[in-house]
Structure 1
Amino acid sequence: MIRLALRLTVAGGREALVRLTVIAAAVTVGVALLLSTLAAIGATRTQNDRNAWLNTGAEFTQSRNARAAGADPLWWLLRADHYDGGLIGRVDVAATGPNAPVPPGLPRLPGPGEYYASPALAELLRATPAGELADRYPGRRAGTIGRSALPGPDSLIVVVGHRPGELAGKEGARRVTTIETRSPSSCNGPNCDVAAGINAEGMALVLSVVALALIFPVLILTGTASRLAAARREQRFAAMRLVGATPGQVSLISTIESAVAAVAGTAAGFALWYALRPLVARADLTGTPFFTGDMSLGVVDVLGIAVGVPVAAAIAARVALRRVRVSPLGVTRRTTPRPPRAWRLIPLALGLGQLWWVIGRVPEGSSGQILAFVPGILLILVGIVLAGPWLTMAGARLLVRCTRRPALLVAGRRLADDPKAGFRAVSGLVLALCVTSTAVGIITAVVAESGVPEDNAAFGSSVVGDYERQFGAGPTRKPPAALPAATRSELVSVPGVHSVMVVRTNPLGIPDPAEPAPPKGERPILAGLVACAELARMPAHNDCPAGAEAAAIPPDFSRFGMQEDRAWPAVWPAVKISPQRLGSLPVSEIMVTTDGSTAAVERVRTLLTAAYPDELPPYTVAEDYAQRWGDIAGYRQLATVVIAISFPIAGCSLAVAVAGGLNERKRPFALLRLSGVPLRTLRRVVLLESAAPLLIVAALAIGMGFLTAQLFLQAQYGYSIRPPGAGYYGLTLAGIVVSLAVIASTLPLLRRITGPETARND
């Protein structure tokens, strides 16, 4: 029987060969994508592990205060620098002895006046004028940071050497005797935070989204391919039963036939994955691409796919032949399938109900929200798949009642009789639309709430030196001195700089006008003082009282709008202080407005770094917003990857399903054509049978996607959904148009497969 099964599989004529090729090709694509997803999940963990050393001395580490035997303390200061919107991890170190610990990727610690740079940063230093970047790191480059310390190939990291006295007492500097080796993903709990990388909850969320949004469509594609020509195969096996074949023999033949295609597709899938691995490594799941070598598979992954896919195909083949095993006449005497019931809407309702229940019940940022969101979204995705046939049936019955056109009547009747088959072809695309709508709805709302206001775009390109000492600074810290005249002159002379505003510390005890009055007995937050002439040149919130020379403003003026409970006055209160005294006061904040060009921003940043080397590196207002909402930037990257992959997968599923369905129905179509039905009518029937469920259920999927986004936003941030941009509508329209084009591309086959010979020979 095995020899007969192999002969029927590979020598069953052109039709069998085409069927085998198509199934193998679809399995190849599915396996390659599945392997890529599994490899990306592993690479994400590996990449996150390489951030461990950057968390040396972080709050979540338990070993930060442990004294390593024989180790000399090392002064350690991690700071965030930027270039052209990109993040530069800056680590300042100072050894107190010859046995100080050395970070990974370095042959030794840099001495005073030396630094090590990552390859990407070294290349950037070579390609950028010194005044825009290199002057921030005085001295010479001692070498390049090795790959073992880099999360990704484009990571920008610099380790700068100092004398111990230069770092001692600096805000944020710590004395450590060990370099952290634990992954950031070991940081767990509602209040857990890491200096670099993704903590356990963030990692769980990223991997869950990847699993739900990428593996789900791949499984649909593989399942669609395995059902290719199912009806034709049922008829052939039923004929074998009628001539004496036993159910076991038929099952064995079917299993071998499916396994051959699955094995061939699995082997080709591994080859395709290996060829595409460098391309997949560029996927920006976590904000930085992967090293190609990190895109590797474990033994369990390889064995699971190599064995699991053929086994799953064999099991699916046996399940598909249940009617043949019961009775061979069950195939030839086909009856209308049992219509889907309304219970199919229950999982969808349960998923929405679970997301609604989370609102206000689970603390923000806790692991309980992840446990609620992931099952809820999974229920919604499964619910759409289950509810799709019922909605297709309801829409088809309505279509039949409202029309008398032949094509609409035939298509409507066929969909109403077998809505599962009609919806199966478009299920992948429907899920892609749901996932896209959810991702776009969440990202659009959060970006709108957390980003720089659109009417203050110029405000976002301002460079800020933040030296305010009221929050988190020790009482012995002194504010930095007044801005040197030479530095101000250099700043003003930079091409692209519009104005310079210096916010001074407040010796007068004037409270911050943007903050509510504190409770009795508590110290008020003090305002910053600024010259009205400088404030007037700011792009936003720059009104002083008429005739005033100085005004009281928030000491962190650059963070306008980040605190929702602030009430910002239209005119800032005047302050009576002489210009001479105001100019001599220490600095709280410096804002330099620019035209937003890279050269202007980076030149200003470098000048402020040189003027105040002991302070935190300057940043732009837009970078400050982005850093505070850095997880959203990562999720935006993740959403882009998910959308870019899910739509092509859905298109492949649609093409396979439509082509397979057309081939299975060629005899009924041939009989209709012989009875006088015009070919153009048959083409309309084929188009309507696929387009109707697509349009009917797509509307539900898009609505469910936005509703899911609204429930997530309310539970996580307390926001409301915003209308998406034109890009979303263009993407959705393009997806539907391309899908209709895929369906239309199969219509020319009707003339060839519905000839008289089809009805006569079949």
Structure 2
Amino acid sequence: MIPFSLRLAVSGGREAVARLLMIAAAVAIGVGLLLSTFSSLNAIDRANERQLWMNTGAKGATAAAAADPLWWGARMDYYRGKTVFRADLAPTGPTSPVVPGLSRLPAPGEYYASPALQELLRDSPAVELGDRFPGRLAGTLGDDALPSPDTLALVVGRTADEVKALPRAHTVTSLATAMPDDCEQDCYGGGVHGDRMVLVLTVVAAALIFPVLIFIGTATRLSAATREQRYAAMRLVGATPGQVSVMSAVESTVAAVIGTAVGFGLYFVLKPVVAEVPFTGDRFFAADLSLTLPQIAGTLLGVPVAAALAARFALRRVTVSPLGVSRRVTPKPPSAWRVTPLVAGLVELGYFVGGKPATTNGQSAAYLTGFVLVMLGLVVAGPWLTRVTAQAVARRTSRPASLIAMRRLSDDPRAGFRSVAGLVLALFVTTGTLAIMGTINANQATLNGAPEVRKAIVDTPFGNKEDAALLPAVPDRVLAQAHAVPGFQGIALVHDNPAGIGAHQLGERRFVPSLVSCAELAQIPVVGHCAPGATVAAVDPYQLLDLTDGSGHEWPAAPISAAEAAELPVRMLYATTDGSEEAKEQLRTLFMKEFPTYEPRLAEDWASEGQKKLQGWRQLANVVLLTTLPIAGCSLAVSVVAGLSDRRRPFAMLRLSGAPLRLLRRVVGLESALPLLVVSALAIGTGFAAAAMFLKAQMDYGLVSPDLTYYGLTGFGLVASLGIIASTLPLLARITGPEAARNG
């Protein structure tokens, strides 16, 4: 039976071969995207594993046992908006743990750097970057220690006394092998962002695959009416339902097998491209983009089986009764229960607003099922909404084209909605994606800081802790070197206030201001100015760290002389520049060399990690939009053409009975445009609702209206869809000639 079915699958001439190729192409696209998504998820897991050692000593980071203690001091450095991980190490014995990617620990005066950092050191002036790192470059930090080829990291060899003097330095007997409990405070690697990206990619996987599955289903149904008549004839001459089921499934299965093989080839072609996409803000190692055996087996077996089931479902009426095809009995109308999955998906997303799961895997499962239910609900509810709308329009129109179109949509709303299902899902994905991205941008764009603040550099005790060791004084030579930096404009020393001068009650706490000479404060006007006649200002050190422009603020006078204030320990150095990267990085390097227990920061440093995540999410948004919209457009075109082909005989009969061609074109246009516009409105509203609940649950953000990009893209998608529908109408003149009206 199978050899006969294979022969039958290609015996229909060019139409059969074209149908076979269309199904294979749809499957290949789906498989290529699916495998690329799987491998990206696996690459994120491997990237997180590679950087676990960076969190050694953090609270809750589990580790494997070792012997001799290792003095460990880790911190994040920054250079022109890029993050640099630095670990200062001092072993106490021969069995102290060794960092992954190294055969030995660096000796005092040596350091190992990642390839990307070595390249950056070669391309950057030493006064801006290289002078920060003591000693000489002794070798390369291997890939086993790096989550990405773009990672900037180095391991510095120091003496035990040098490491002990660093902030947060401690001894460890092993390196971390699991993420810490509190990544908001203690994590140095980007594992927390990688986990969030796993969550987002999991949802994206569903967003990508649903339109692809609809495309496959649409292609599988090509010329369904012609095949139904052919299989019905076979039933009438004695073919059993089982034999017909085999024949209907073989064509799609063969195409799916070919498409799956091509899809694996497409995946290997896309692999270098996917590796270059910075989903997490950095590229992947190409070797990390791999597949697991269950993923390979599931794809190899699942996709052909799904295609066979789609074909079986598309031609199910033939197996029930061979006369059912010719009689064309009106199918049972869809009922209101079809909105249940959509409502259930929205309710699930709403439930997690107040209590999201604690783990990334739990969140992935929760949001994946929620978004899948919503997308499935749109597909399931679409026919019912199409029928209800068509009946409402039919009651209010008397035009022949509208009546014919609405009558057909009322009789078979599933067929009417099927042509636009892919585009409806694409609109849901587009709305949700751009709404989430727009809201994140609106909430995190303020991290960039005011223009004048972005020109300043602040040097504070590492971690800015109240009990941090303060500088007894700042040497004059350091101030002279700072003044000599091209682009330097001014510097102020913010002194500690141990006597509590000017202290007062602020709410539930006692506020103790810091002290700044008014002469120095005048050099950094971005943070405010002194009261008239004052020589020392009482300032709020936390307000100095604000990223907003405070030039209009007037600080109160402190009852202390400038000479007395200058004798107090220094809590903060605040320097301003002309805004050039060269000036800011030279000052940062100078401060790091002179004050290793302090941390010089720029406004862009606070924004660095946030912007890195935003970049990754923007890339994901581009991937989703550039994938779903073209697939949805192809699905719409194929579906409309398939619908015209399946109804060539009824349309030909209408033309023979006197119906003008323009009337038939209006019928086809209305049949496609009505469900498109009506269900698109539902998809857009649902996309906004799902995005709002996801943002509130994950980030506690309120939904912000998208910018003009969204409205332009949505409008373009709808206009392009109507254009696709219009482009298929000329086919009516070719397929509705008198020869098509003959009895088959």
TM-score by length of 1: 0.88
Q: Does 1:601 align with 2:597?
A: no
What amino acid sits opposite 1:303 in the alignment?
A
1:56 alignment counterpart:
56
Q: Does 1:142 align with 2:135?
A: no
The correspondence for 2:598, drawn from 588, 591, 615, is: 615
Q: Secondary structure of 1:281's partner?
A: helix
Q: Secondary structure of 1:258's partner?
A: helix
CA deviation after TM superposition for structure 1 residue 318, in Å? 2.4
Residues 536, 356 of structure 1: alpha-carbon distance in 2 compared, 3 angstrom cutoff: farther
1:517 alignment counterpart:
507
Q: Does 1:551 align with 2:537?
A: yes
In structure 2, runs of 5+ residues without a counterpart are none
What amino acid sits opposite 1:261 in the alignment?
A
Q: State how far apart, in whole Å, the 1-side matches of 2:360 and 2:297 are.
A: 35
Residues 454, 90 of structure 1: alpha-carbon distance in 2 compared, 3 angstrom cutoff: closer
Moved more, 662-671 or 34-43: 662-671
Q: Does 1:303 align with 2:297?
A: yes
Q: State how far apart, in whole Å, the 2-side matches of 1:469 and 1:18 are.
A: 65
CA deviation after TM superposition for structure 1 residue 560, in Å? 2.4
Moved more, 272-281 or 378-387: 378-387
CA deviation after TM superposition for structure 1 residue 404, in Å? 4.5
Q: State how far apart, in whole Å, the 2-side matches of 1:3 and 1:468 are.
A: 75
Q: Does 1:502 align with 2:502?
A: no
Q: State how far apart, in whole Å, the 1-side matches of 2:660 and 2:472 are.
A: 88
Q: Secondary structure of 1:588's partner?
A: strand
2:514 alignment counterpart:
528
1:659 alignment counterpart:
641
Moved more, 461-470 or 23-32: 461-470
Residues 308, 586 of structure 1: alpha-carbon distance in 2 compared, 3 angstrom cutoff: same
What amino acid sits opposite 2:494 in the alignment?
V
Contact 2:73 2:170 in 1 (8 A): yes
Residues 556, 298 of structure 1: alpha-carbon distance in 2 compared, 3 angstrom cutoff: same
The correspondence for 1:74, drawn from 46, 70, 74, is: 70
Q: Does 1:325 align with 2:325?
A: no
Contact 1:189 1:367 in 2 (8 A): no
CA deviation after TM superposition for structure 1 residue 172, in Å? 1.5
Contact 1:74 1:96 in 2 (8 A): yes
Residues 461, 738 of structure 1: alpha-carbon distance in 2 compared, 3 angstrom cutoff: farther
CA deviation after TM superposition for structure 1 residue 20, in Å? 0.7
Residues 324, 127 of structure 1: alpha-carbon distance in 2 compared, 3 angstrom cutoff: same
CA deviation after TM superposition for structure 1 residue 373, in Å? 4.1
1:591 alignment counterpart:
574
Residues 676, 593 of structure 1: alpha-carbon distance in 2 compared, 3 angstrom cutoff: farther
Residues 254, 701 of structure 1: alpha-carbon distance in 2 compared, 3 angstrom cutoff: same
Residues 97, 252 of structure 1: alpha-carbon distance in 2 compared, 3 angstrom cutoff: same
Contact 1:499 1:593 in 2 (8 A): yes
What amino acid sits opposite 1:280 in the alignment?
V
Q: Does 1:126 align with 2:122?
A: yes
Residues 758, 175 of structure 1: alpha-carbon distance in 2 compared, 3 angstrom cutoff: same
CA-to-aligned-CA distance 1:3-38 (integer Å, 9 cap, x gap): 321111122211111111111111111111111111
Q: Does 1:708 align with 2:701?
A: no
TM-score by length of 2: 0.90
Q: State how far apart, in whole Å, the 2-side matches of 1:225 and 1:597 are.
A: 57
CA deviation after TM superposition for structure 1 residue 760, in Å? 3.5
1:283 alignment counterpart:
277
CA-to-aligned-CA distance 1:366-402 (integer Å, 9 cap, x gap): 9876665444333322222222222222333344344
CA deviation after TM superposition for structure 1 residue 85, in Å? 1.5
Contact 1:364 1:717 in 2 (8 A): no
What amino acid sits opposite 2:689 in the alignment?
L
CA-to-aligned-CA distance 1:617-675 (integer Å, 9 cap, x gap): x2322331454797666555544443443334333433333333333233333334444
The correspondence for 2:391, drawn from 391, 397, 402, is: 397
What amino acid sits opposite 1:129 in the alignment?
P
CA deviation after TM superposition for structure 1 residue 238, in Å? 0.9
Q: Does 1:753 align with 2:735?
A: yes
Q: State how far apart, in whole Å, the 2-side matches of 1:385 and 1:273 are.
A: 28
1:335-350 map, 5 Å: 335-350=329-344
CA-to-aligned-CA distance 1:661-720 (integer Å, 9 cap, x gap): 333233333334444444444444434433332222222222222222333344445442
Q: State how far apart, in whole Å, the 1-side matches of 2:655 and 2:530 are.
A: 83
Residues 624, 317 of structure 1: alpha-carbon distance in 2 compared, 3 angstrom cutoff: same
What amino acid sits opposite 1:415 in the alignment?
L
Moved more, 259-268 or 191-200: 191-200
Q: State how far apart, in whole Å, the 1-side matches of 2:622 and 2:17 are.
A: 38
1:444 alignment counterpart:
438
Q: Secondary structure of 2:270's partner?
A: helix
Moved more, 21-30 or 371-380: 371-380
Moved more, 433-442 or 403-412: 403-412
Q: State how far apart, in whole Å, the 2-side matches of 1:482 and 1:121 are.
A: 33
Residues 732, 203 of structure 1: alpha-carbon distance in 2 compared, 3 angstrom cutoff: closer
1:729 alignment counterpart:
711
Q: State how far apart, in whole Å, the 2-side matches of 1:190 and 1:157 are.
A: 19
Q: State how far apart, in whole Å, the 2-side matches of 1:42 and 1:619 are.
A: 34
1:201-212 map, 5 Å: 202=196, 205-212=199-206
1:88 alignment counterpart:
84
Q: Does 1:577 align with 2:567?
A: no
Q: State how far apart, in whole Å, the 2-side matches of 1:393 and 1:32 are.
A: 36
The correspondence for 2:469, drawn from 469, 472, 478, is: 478
Moved more, 623-632 or 681-690: 623-632
CA deviation after TM superposition for structure 1 residue 403, in Å? 4.2
Q: Does 1:647 align with 2:629?
A: yes
Query: Pairwise CA RMSD of aligned residues?
Result: 3.3
Q: State how far apart, in whole Å, the 2-side matches of 1:292 and 1:160 are.
A: 28
What amino acid sits opposite 2:191 in the alignment?
I
Q: Secondary structure of 1:109's partner?
A: coil
Contact 2:416 2:671 in 1 (8 A): yes
Moved more, 188-197 or 721-730: 188-197
Contact 1:491 1:607 in 2 (8 A): yes
CA-to-aligned-CA distance 1:262-288 (integer Å, 9 cap, x gap): 111111111111111111222333222
The correspondence for 1:176, drawn from 159, 172, 178, is: 172
What amino acid sits opposite 1:161 in the alignment?
G
CA deviation after TM superposition for structure 1 residue 236, in Å? 1.5
Q: State how far apart, in whole Å, the 1-side matches of 2:8 and 2:305 are.
A: 20
CA-to-aligned-CA distance 1:213-239 (integer Å, 9 cap, x gap): 333333333333333332222122112
CA deviation after TM superposition for structure 1 residue 462, in Å? 3.3
Q: State how far apart, in whole Å, the 2-side matches of 1:472 and 1:230 are.
A: 75
Q: State how far apart, in whole Å, the 1-side matches of 2:484 and 2:671 are.
A: 68
What amino acid sits opposite 2:506 in the alignment?
P
CA deviation after TM superposition for structure 1 residue 437, in Å? 2.5
2:97 alignment counterpart:
101
Residues 137, 259 of structure 1: alpha-carbon distance in 2 compared, 3 angstrom cutoff: same
CA-to-aligned-CA distance 1:248-306 (integer Å, 9 cap, x gap): 22112112112111111111111111111111222333222211121112222222211
What amino acid sits opposite 1:81 in the alignment?
D
1:195 alignment counterpart:
188
Q: State how far apart, in whole Å, the 2-side matches of 1:461 and 1:677 are.
A: 74
1:560 alignment counterpart:
546
Q: State how far apart, in whole Å, the 2-side matches of 1:320 and 1:22 are.
A: 16
Q: State how far apart, in whole Å, the 1-side matches of 2:484 and 2:403 are.
A: 76
Q: Secondary structure of 1:529's partner?
A: strand
Contact 1:452 1:622 in 2 (8 A): no
CA deviation after TM superposition for structure 1 residue 448, in Å? 3.0
